[in-house]
């Protein structure tokens, strides 16, 4: 077990820093195993400090102190105290600015946690968010201390010919012994979590962007030499994001240079360090034969996300880490807007909501539930969660819905103008929205402090042209919040007439076809008048609030909405609800031992979709999708993983059997080689034909086997090749082993493609999957020190394969616990994320509960357990 229980940090205990650091001068003498860091800090007492202490405490971890001085005078051992996590100078001037100079040594090669300065392949790079800078030198490592940085990098010129840091390059030169130096200066004050450096043997792709005011910005993407040909899409995505932010938010880039570096070893997706973004290669590198359409879309989205942070995160940053959603929720909303504008808004919205409801709602319903602004944490890295990011984005979206696009833009303009160069809070963001629009959002603020997913129960009554909707809201108790107050919930709605056309109505004296009502009470009635007949109600259009909606509908009404609803989200949602209703009926039949029968309502609804000639083919493909097994499990009081899988597969096979001719026809109509073409039509054709291929292979017939194998062998783009291989792997196709071997041989030098190969096998539903996963752990290409590879195998199996991870014998649980314990000493952040596979143990039967809690206790009792893993495992058990 742990040597000591880690301390909890509370929002209520926040106090301003006693000291501020105005200027930072850093000099690095870079070496894989022994990097010397010299830090010069210009410090002054904070006029807002609430403490009378004369001591200055700086944070630091895993640092070897060489020397320290105050105003040029070396300090003796008695002048300071050194601990594992801090350096305290006992007496510093309180009435004037002063200078602290520190020299220390760090070992990047030994830093497998990938925080601070570390080695990725042969490249040195940094990751300082949230608290990685304290692993570089002793510092006031908190986001409300904003400093101007000057950085000088010194290194062997052959080993590290490229030396990068934040801001603008201000000097460079050669030194004796084959070394050289480059100096950088960032003119903008920033928290140390936005500091970055990169050194290595890198090539770069260059371009430029002309801002709306006519300034020319140099753009550079740095990669290892063999990846230079995979940067074109990332560069164009950056330029698209820069233009979009100018047009949509009026925000212009502020430096003369914008750099991106792609690294293999990275705990997150990317990092918005000022002027020098460090990216996981997964979100930079793309070529039609190595990246899928989804990869291309995700790259553009993540490139946009990190660029948008230049204002929503960098120019205006967080006062403390409890405010993390201030920058992340806001920026996720912005990147969702951007991606929707760049592709299909309907498809983007559905994909975002699908992920939210499948994964974030589960987080809300478990022991790790927390508000988007948490009240406490042990390890801040554990709060880079779906709640903070995705639910945080939904809260921002609700403000956009309530205020309208123009009002929201006014609020953003005021926010950036009022707080540029400051470290602020979520309250400051909401206050700017209020002040810019002359509205009052006191009740809305509860979204920031209340955990859990609200439930809306709707009843309807129609009489003489008047429809009354009675809406009740509630929220299940969550850890530390047994009682919940009513929230301010925007509900966008419309009505459909019997012929499927929009039904006009009167609400609050105005005639309209769509309205947004504000639910603010625990129970509230909304009255709509001037209706000529009882309409079909379309509620929560565009998923206008992150809630669970309960309203009685029969299958025929759901099928009607699936056919006619003009709201693209609700049309898809009706299909999902229809399929879910049928699947849960089949689950009941399975549990009761009854014979399973297909539902003709669903078959005819899908037949209509396949016959539809709508232009948005990607949207049609989504309409043909079945609910994820994880999403279905989240709606059960006790998850029955085998019955869910059996029922869902029965539906898939029934549809494939009944609509085989239609699936074959649509596949043939859209099967063409458009490799390298990424317009909406080409992407849609690939999505639709590959959805059809998936259904056809469910038939387990020789002609469907041949169809999948032929596409696999002939595909010239990764989208078609991986879709075909997935169809082969998730069937009894006799060519499966040969196809897998062929794919690996073809792509073994492309790490990101090999990740796909691992994931495909880890998420397979066929019986031999767990044995395959165990054998892949011994594969030469598997490396526990590479986060992408761990996520592709261990993470994919435990988080995306409920059938086999939750096997009754507990093998999946033991496997995951063993990997967590192994990762704990290598990379605590990744280890903690893997523990999440156990978080929902209370949702399962008693036997599985016992097996999962046993593994959680084994993890908690591990010696020298990191606080990252301890927090997640102990809270899961609590």
* pLDDT tens figures, 35-49: 999 999 999 999 999
Which pLDDT score, from 0 to 100, does residue 6 have? 87
**CATH topology of 9-201 equal to that of 455-553?**
yes
Question: Over the stretch 853-878, which tens digit does the pLDDT of each residue have?
Answer: 999 999 999 999 999 999 999 999 98
Mean pLDDT of 609-620: 91
Residue found by looking up tokens 């409801």 in the block: 357
Mean pLDDT of 317-330: 98
Question: Over the stretch 758-795, which tens digit does the pLDDT of each residue have?
Answer: 999 999 999 999 999 999 999 999 999 999 999 999 99
Which pLDDT score, from 0 to 100, does residue 184 have? 98
Q: Is the pLDDT confidence value at 4 over 70?
A: no
Mean pLDDT of 246-251: 98
Which CA distances in Å does 259 have to 15, 169, 210, 238, 277? 35, 12, 15, 10, 6
What is the domain class of 9-201 according to CATH?
mainly beta
d(C-alpha 231, C-alpha 284), whole Å:
7
Is domain 748-878 in CATH 1.25.50.10, yes or no? yes
Which pLDDT score, from 0 to 100, does residue 1 have? 43
Mean pLDDT of 285-312: 98
What is the domain class of 316-449 according to CATH?
mainly alpha
Q: Are 812 and 798 in contact (CB under 8 A)?
A: yes
d(C-alpha 63, C-alpha 4), whole Å:
21
Check 25, 224, 306, 394 and give the catalytic one.
306
Mean pLDDT of 466-493: 96
Mean pLDDT of 331-345: 97
Annotated catalytic, 306?
yes
**Kind plus residue range of the DSSP H or E element containing 164:** strand 162-165
d(C-alpha 710, C-alpha 833), whole Å:
38
* Mean pLDDT rounded to a whole number for the chain: 97
Mean pLDDT of 618-623: 96
Q: Are 390 and 324 in contact (CB under 8 A)?
A: no
pLDDT band at 280 (very low <50, low <70, confident <90, very high): very high
Q: Where are the domains of the chain?
A: 9-201, 316-449, 455-553, 748-878
Q: Which of 290, 602, 537 is nearest to 526 (CA)?
A: 537
The CATH code belonging to domain 455-553 is 2.60.40.1840
DSSP 57-85: EEE--S-EEEEEEETTEEPPGGGEEE-SS
**Kind plus residue range of the DSSP H or E element containing 308:** helix 293-308
Which pLDDT score, from 0 to 100, does residue 728 have? 98
Mean pLDDT of 441-449: 98
Residue 87 pairs in a beta bridge with 58, 82
Phi, psi at 271, each rounded to 5°? -140, 135
Helix or strand or coil: residue 157? coil
Which pLDDT score, from 0 to 100, does residue 2 have? 47
């Amino acid at each position: 077990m742990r040597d000591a229980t880690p301390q909890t940090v509370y929002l209520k205990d926040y106090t301003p820093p006693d000291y501020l650091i105005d200027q930072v001068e850093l000099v690095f003498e870079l070496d894989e195993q022994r990097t010397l860091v010299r830090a010069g800090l210009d410090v002054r007492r904070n006029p807002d400090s609430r403490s009378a202490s004369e001591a200055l405490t700086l944070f630091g971890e895993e640092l070897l102190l060489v020397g320290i001085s105050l105003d040029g005078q070396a300090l003796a051992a008695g002048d300071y105290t050194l601990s594992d996590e801090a350096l305290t100078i006992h007496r510093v001037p309180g009435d004037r600015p002063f200078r602290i100079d520190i020299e220390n040594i760090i070992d990047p090669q030994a830093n497998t946690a990938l925080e601070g300065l570390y080695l990725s392949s042969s490249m040195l790079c940094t990751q300082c968010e949230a608290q990685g800078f304290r692993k570089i030198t002793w510092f006031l490592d908190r986001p409300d201390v904003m400093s101007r940085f000057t950085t000088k990098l010194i290194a062997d010129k052959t080993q590290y010919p490229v030396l990068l840091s934040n801001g603008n390059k201000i000097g460079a030169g050669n030194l004796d012994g084959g070394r050289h130096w480059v100096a950088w200066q960032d003119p903008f004050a920033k928290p140390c979590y936005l500091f970055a450096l990169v050194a290595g043997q890198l090539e770069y792709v260059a371009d430029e962007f002309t801002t709306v005011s006519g300034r020319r910005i140099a753009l550079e993407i740095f990669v290892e030499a063999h990846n230079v040909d995979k940067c074109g899409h990332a560069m164009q995505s950056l330029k698209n994001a820069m233009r979009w932010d100018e047009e949509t938010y009026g925000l212009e880039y502020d430096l003369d240079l914008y750099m991106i570096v792609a690294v293999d070893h990275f705990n997150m997706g990317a990092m918005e360090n000022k002027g020098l973004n460090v990216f996981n290669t997964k979100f930079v590198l793309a070529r039609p034969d190595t990246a899928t359409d989804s990869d291309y879309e995700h790259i553009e989205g993540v490139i946009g996300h990190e660029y948008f942070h230049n204002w929503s995160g960098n120019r205006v940053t967080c006062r403390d880490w409890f405010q993390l959603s201030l920058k992340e929720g806001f920026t996720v909303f912005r990147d969702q807007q951007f991606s929707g504008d760049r592709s299909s808004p309907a498809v983007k919205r559905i994909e975002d909501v699908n992920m939210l409801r499948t994964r974030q709602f589960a987080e809300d319903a478990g022991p790790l539930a927390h508000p988007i602004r948490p009240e406490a944490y042990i390890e801040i890295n554990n709060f880079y969660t779906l709640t903070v990011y995705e639910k945080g984005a939904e809260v921002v979206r609700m403000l956009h819905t309530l205020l309208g696009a123009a009002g929201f833009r006014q609020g953003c303009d005021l926010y950036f103008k009022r707080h540029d160069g400051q470290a602020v809070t979520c309250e400051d963001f909401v206050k700017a929205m209020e002040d810019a629009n002359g509205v009052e959002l006191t009740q809305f603020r509860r979204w920031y402090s209340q955990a859990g997913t609200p439930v809306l129960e709707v009843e309807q009554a129609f009489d003489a042209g008047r429809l009354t909707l009675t809406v009740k809201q509630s929220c299940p108790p969550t850890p530390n919040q047994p009682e919940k107050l009513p929230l301010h919930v925007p509900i966008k709605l419309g009505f459909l007439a019997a012929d499927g056309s929009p039904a006009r109505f009167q609400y609050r004296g105005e005639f309209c076809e769509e309205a947004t009502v504000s639910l603010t009470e625990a129970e509230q009635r909304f009255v709509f008048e001037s209706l000529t007949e009882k309409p079909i109600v379309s509620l929560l259009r565009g998923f206008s609030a992150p809630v669970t909606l309960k309203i009685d509908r029969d299958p025929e009404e759901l099928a009607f909405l699936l056919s006619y609803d003009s709201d693209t989200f609700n049309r898809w949602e009706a299909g999902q609800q229809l399929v879910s209703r049928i699947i849960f009926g089949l689950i009941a039949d399975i549990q009761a031992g009854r014979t399973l029968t297909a539902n003709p309502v669903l078959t005819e609804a899908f037949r209509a979709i396949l016959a539809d000639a709508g232009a948005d083919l990607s949207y049609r493909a989504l309409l043909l999708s079945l609910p994820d097994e994880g999403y279905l499990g989240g709606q059960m009081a006790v998850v029955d993983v085998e019955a869910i899988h059996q029922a869902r597969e029965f539906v898939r096979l029934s549809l494939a059997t009944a609509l085989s001719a239609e699936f074959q026809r649509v596949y043939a109509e859209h099967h063409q080689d458009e490799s390298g073409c990424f317009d909406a039509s080409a992407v849609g054709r690939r999505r639709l034909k590959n959805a059809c291929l998936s259904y056809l292979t469910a038939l387990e017939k020789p002609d469907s086997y041949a169809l999948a194998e032929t596409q696999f062998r002939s595909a010239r783009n990764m989208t078609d090749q991986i879709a075909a291989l997935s169809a082969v792997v998730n069937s009894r196709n006799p060519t499966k082993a040969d196809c897998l071997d062929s794919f690996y041989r073809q792509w073994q030098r492309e790490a990101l493609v090999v990740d796909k190969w691992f994931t495909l096998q880890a998420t397979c539903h066929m019986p031999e999957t767990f044995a395959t996963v165990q054998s892949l752990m011994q594969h030469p290409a598997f490396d526990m020190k590479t986060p992408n590879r761990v996520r592709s195998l261990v993470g994919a199996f435990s988080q995306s394969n409920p059938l086999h991870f939750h096997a009754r014998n507990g093998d999946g649980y033991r496997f995951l616990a063993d990997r967590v314990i192994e990762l704990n000493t290598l990379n605590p952040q990744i280890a903690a994320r893997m523990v999440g596979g156990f978080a929902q143990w209370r949702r399962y039967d008693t036997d599985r509960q016992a097996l999962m809690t046993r593994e959680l206790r084994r993890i908690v009792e591990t010696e020298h357990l990191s606080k990252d893993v301890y927090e997640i495992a102990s809270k899961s058990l609590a």
